[in-house]
Amino acid sequence: MTRIPVFDMMKGIAILFMIIGHCQIPDSLHRIIYLFHLPLFFIVSGYFYKNNSLKLQLVKDLKRLVVPYFLCAFVVGIKYGIDAFRLHDFSKIPDFCLAVIWGSCPIQIEDLSLPDIGPIWFLLALFWCRQIFNWIMTYKSGPIFVISIALFSTLLSQFVIFPWSILQGMSGMLFYLMGFLFAHHQNSRHTLLPLSVLIIPIAYFYGAIDMHTGLYPNFTMNVLGALAASYLLYVFLDFISQIHFLRSSMSWLGEWSLLILGVHYIEFMLINWNAKISFWMETCEEPVVWVIGIRILSIIASVFFLSRISFIKQIFVGGAKTK
C-alpha cells in the first residue's frame, strides 16, 4: 500500500490527541478531543480498505494488530513481575494476565476484578472491525448489514460487556464504512465542508464519545460530530500539507502511530502521572502543560530510537512508502 501524506498526518494528530486526552485536561479540551479522535482512526483505516480473502485478512491483521497488542502487554507484564519479586507481592499478576486475555472494559463480578487494559484495547477493536467488515462486504447488501450491526452493537454495549473489545470493534464499523465510502465518492466532497462547520459546534454541546465504554450521550449527533470534525481536519491538513516540514513531520507521526500507541500504553500503565502533577503543582505555574509536553516529547524520542530497530520496524510499521 502506498501511503498518502494527508492521511498519515490525520493519524499523527489523532495519536497526539489520544496522549493529551489521557492527561488531566480542561473539560472543554476533553470534549474537543473525544468528539472525534478515536472514530478518526476507524475512518482512516476504512478509507484504505481493499477486499481480501477471509484468511488473508485474518493473517494480515493478526500480525499488524494482535501481535503488537500482546507484545506491549508483555513489556508491561515484565515490570509487574519485577515489582512482584521486589515487593514480595504477586497478587496483581493474575489480574493483569486475565485483563490482557479479557481485552476489554474493566469488570467487577463477585470476587473477580479485572483492571482496565489501557489504550491497547483499540488494537483488538480495530482487529474485529476489519475482520467482520471484510466478511460482511462479500455480500451485495454489505453496507446495510454493516450499519445495522454497528447500531445493534452500540445499543448492546449499554447493557453487556463482551471480551476482546468485540462490541467496540463492531460499533466502529460505522466509522470504518464512512471512510470506505469517502474514498469512493470523490465528487461529493465539496458539499461536506459547510455541513461540517455547521454540525461541529452543535455536536460539541451534546458531549464526548467514549468508544471504550460505549458511551454516546447523543448517538446521532455524536456520530455526525465525529464525521464532521474528521472531515474538517482532513481539509485543513490537506491545505497545510503543501508545507514540506509540516507534511514530513506530521506524516512521520502517522506512519509510526502504532508504535507511538505502544510506547504511550507502556508509560500510561507504569508511570503515576497524578503523583507527578501533584509534585509539579508546587513548583510549576502550568503543571498540566508540563506533563503533556514531557509525555509527548519522551514518547516521540523513544519512538525515534525504537524505529531504528529492524525487529520493531517489522512489527509496528507496514513498510509502505509515502506518496
Which residues in 91-207 belong to E strands, given as ranges? Answer: 107-109, 112-114
CB 277 within 8 A of CB 24: yes
Per-residue model confidence (pLDDT) at position 64 = 95
Dihedral sign from CA coordinates of 313, 14, 107, 77:
positive
Closest of 58, 51, 42, 54 to residue 173, by C-alpha: 42
Using DSSP's 3-state secondary structure scheme, residue 213 falls into coil
What is the full per-residue pLDDT of the chain (323 aa) written as tens digits? 567 899 999 999 999 999 999 888 889 999 999 999 999 999 999 999 999 999 999 999 999 999 999 999 999 999 889 988 888 888 888 888 989 999 987 776 666 677 788 899 999 999 999 999 999 999 989 999 999 999 999 999 988 889 999 999 999 999 999 999 998 876 666 678 888 999 999 999 988 899 998 889 999 999 999 999 999 999 999 999 999 999 999 999 999 999 999 999 999 988 876 665 655 555 555 667 778 888 999 999 999 999 999 989 999 985 444 44
Per-residue model confidence (pLDDT) at position 276 = 59
pTM recorded for the entire structure: 0.92
Per-residue model confidence (pLDDT) at position 38 = 95
Q: What angle do CA 97, 99, 102 make, to 5 degrees?
A: 115
Using DSSP's 3-state secondary structure scheme, residue 81 falls into helix
**DSSP summary character for residue 186:** G
Q: Residue type for 284, please? A: C
CB 253 within 8 A of CB 18: no
Q: What is the distance between the alpha carbons of residues 52 and 57, in angstroms, rounded to a whole number? A: 6
Burial of 177 per CB tally in 10 Å (0-12, 13-18, 19+)? buried
The DSSP string of 263-280 is HHHHHHHH--HHHHHHHH
Q: What is the distance between the alpha carbons of residues 179 and 39, in angstroms, rounded to a whole number? A: 10
Q: What is the distance between the alpha carbons of residues 131 and 125, in angstroms, rounded to a whole number? A: 10
Domains in the chain: boundaries: 5-245
- Taking CA atoms, 278 is separated from 22, 95, 230, 264, 274, in Å, by 16, 28, 34, 21, 6
Q: What is the distance between the alpha carbons of residues 210 and 174, in angstroms, rounded to a whole number? A: 15
Per-residue model confidence (pLDDT) at position 322 = 44
